[in-house]
Amino acid sequence: MAESQKKRSGTLKKVLARVARYRLSIACSLLLAALTVTLTLYVPILVGRAVDLIAGPGRVDFAGLARILATIGAAVALTALSQWLMSLINNRITYQTVRDMRADAFRKIGILPLSYIDSHPAGEIVSRVIADVEQFADGLLMGFTQLFTGVITILGTIGFMLSVNPVITLVVVLITPVSLFVAAFIARHTYDMFRLQSQTRGEQTAMIDELVGGQSVIQAFGREKKCLDDFDEVNERLRRYSLRAIFFSSITNPSTRFVNSLVYAGVGVCGAIIAVGGGLSVGQLSCFLSYANQYTKPFNEISGVVTELQNALACAARIFDLIEETPQAPDAPDAAALKNVRGEVAIEDADFSYVPERPLIEHLNLHARPGQRVAIVGPTGCGKTTIINLLMRFYDVDRGVIAVDGAPIRSVTRKSLRASYGMVLQETWLRSGTVRENLAMGRPDASEEEIIAAAKASHADSFIRRLPQGYDTVIGEDGGLLSQGQKQLLCIARAMLCHPPMLILDEATSSIDTRTEARVQEAFARLMEGHTSFIVAHRLSTIREADIILVMKDGRIIEQGRHEALLEKGGFYASLYNSQYAGLA
């Protein structure tokens, strides 16, 4: 409980620090709230005076009544205007704060280490940036709209009542602690409930994202019932947490209404006794009864606001956890940009593991000369793709050095390092936009002729021209209705258009038919001339022409050499190769 209280207090301070950026708008909102409350509380006084002007038969002061009614009309109109302006300012403050938080969260995602992205479901991160921010906005807006006016109304009402009759005011103030107790009780019990609700909602969003994205795989393996059971379990937890949160928040209204009734009854009884004794006029008593309602109403609203704020703070805590996540190590202050890259890559005695207690790569050594084609083969999980992650500095080695043209990659900027590589992966990535925009992603300044030449070189031009608008066809997120092979051809064309000094091909032709693959391999051969290339492949037929083949097993290079030499050696590579082509000779 103490830890929860500490986290809630810390989150509140962070929210206030962000809201304080708009202190001028807050000051205007407070002034308008004070004006609104003052005018609202002044109206009952005017009504009380009007009642006194019609207190008996034949004693109606029509002229005075007309003046009071005109004043009431002006006060109501000014109140409406100030409330409208206050709502406008409060909305502006809220959505500026939410905009800043969402921008910070999205900006942080861009600089988070890949290890964070790999260890957190995409749907859960999306839930923080979208759903949690939206929930936070709702709570913050309610806080601005009702908290300011509620507090000022309470203070203003007490002031006005003291000016009329201190005794009745004392009765009202003595009953007030009951409302405060109710609000404090609800606040203590709702934060943890809403925090669990928010976490489970993020878990559910992540699960839905995963299940929808992998629906074909789920159906292919008959996992529908298991997935439905898993979803039902998460859904049931969300129902349970939501009901508990809603239960505590729902007792706010009846509890505060009960307190309201106590206050109203106390004012009515005391006021009637004093009025009978001549201490109050009928108009003043009606004014006090009106104030009793005015005074207790904010407690009802503030209790509701407190409940919403607990939900908002629970959501804000998850957003701040993302915003404050440790980013990837920045480039060194003296980091230089790689220029005129020749493509000499060296890995010296490198160790790396994703999880400290499970070593993966140990004592890895590699030297690739400019223009060499280096193939990396081995069983699944041996560390092939990990080497690519290390070369691109998506992850940093735990020990050892990786250097490009003699410069350790830790001493150069990530941008210049990654710009020196062209990557084609087994998993394609295309964004919503035209085919032309997707091809020119790495080179926005590329000419039409260069784009078409790259598409022809990758054998993508023919199917692109068959699309409804050719190169101007808009494709959806991740390629839309394009086949996996077509998407991969676009990614290959994109790499060819950049014409980088170094290439990384990680199962780059895995989704292409054999005939097209042969043509693409020819295009790759032309592209790789004079360029250092790293080729990860399961189909060993694609790497026969490599200058050097690295055979990996359990994070180590156990064999290396050319294709023919490794076959003659009769080692692990030969067994891998023969297992693929046994019986085909």
Which pLDDT score, from 0 to 100, does residue 85 have?
A: 92
Residues 6+ apart with CB under 8 A from 352: 360, 361, 364, 386, 390, 395, 397, 398
CA distance 434 to 466: 14
Residues 6+ apart with CB under 8 A from 480: none
CA-nearest of 234, 216, 257, 287 to 72 is 287
Neighbouring C-beta atoms of residue 206, cutoff 10 Å:
19
**CA 453 to each of CA 62, 227, 457, 461, 490: distance values in angstroms, whole numbers, following the listed order:** 92, 46, 6, 8, 12
- Measured in degrees and rounded to the nearest 5, phi and psi for residue 213 equal -65, -30
Only one residue has tokens 């080729």, namely 535
Residue pair 161/288 in contact (Cβ under 8 Å)? The answer is: yes
Only one residue has tokens 């004043």, namely 71
CA-nearest of 152, 170, 154, 174 to 162 is 170
CA-nearest of 94, 84, 171 to 138 is 94
Helix (H) or strand (E) run with residue 386 in it: helix 384-391
The phi-psi region of residue 432 (left if phi > 0; otherwise alpha if psi is between -120 and 50; otherwise beta) is beta
CA-nearest of 95, 101, 110, 104 to 145 is 95
Beta bridge partners of 440: none
Residue pair 164/117 in contact (Cβ under 8 Å)? The answer is: no
Question: Under DSSP, is residue 407 helix (H, G, I), strand (E, B) or coil?
Answer: strand
Only one residue has tokens 């250092």, namely 532
Which pLDDT score, from 0 to 100, does residue 503 have?
A: 86
Q: How many helices (H) and strands (E) does the chain have?
A: 21, 12
Which pLDDT score, from 0 to 100, does residue 81 have?
A: 93
CATH code for the structural domain at 2-323: 1.20.1560.10
| β-strands 502-506, 532-536 pairing | parallel
Which pLDDT score, from 0 to 100, does residue 581 have?
A: 54
The structure tokens listed for 418 are 């990654």
CA-nearest of 565, 517, 566 to 537 is 517
Q: 370-395+415-581: what CATH class? A: alpha beta
Residue pair 535/375 in contact (Cβ under 8 Å)? The answer is: yes
HSE at residue 460, side-chain half, CA atoms within 13 A, is 30
Instruction: Identify the DSSP state of 430.
Output: -
In one letter, which amino acid is 203?
A: E
Write down the domain spans for the chain.
2-323, 370-395+415-581
Query: pLDDT by residue for the chain (585 residues), tens digit each?
Result: 566 667 777 887 888 888 888 889 888 888 888 888 888 878 877 877 777 777 656 667 778 778 888 988 998 999 899 889 988 888 888 888 888 888 888 888 888 888 888 888 777 788 888 888 888 887 777 777 777 777 777 787 777 777 777 877 777 777 766 766 766 676 666 767 777 887 888 788 878 877 877 777 787 777 788 888 888 888 888 888 888 877 777 776 677 677 777 777 777 777 777 777 777 777 777 777 777 777 767 766 666 676 677 778 878 888 888 888 888 888 888 888 888 888 888 888 888 888 877 778 888 888 888 888 888 888 877 778 888 888 888 888 888 999 998 888 888 888 888 888 888 877 778 888 888 988 888 888 888 999 999 888 888 888 889 888 888 888 877 767 788 778 888 888 888 888 888 888 877 666 667 776 676 677 667 667 777 888 887 666 667 778 888 888 877 788 888 888 888 888 888 887 777 654 444
CA distance 261 to 304: 17
CA-nearest of 205, 227, 231, 201 to 214 is 227
As a dihedral over the C-alpha atoms of residue 335, residue 336, residue 341, residue 347, rounded to 10 degrees, the angle is -20
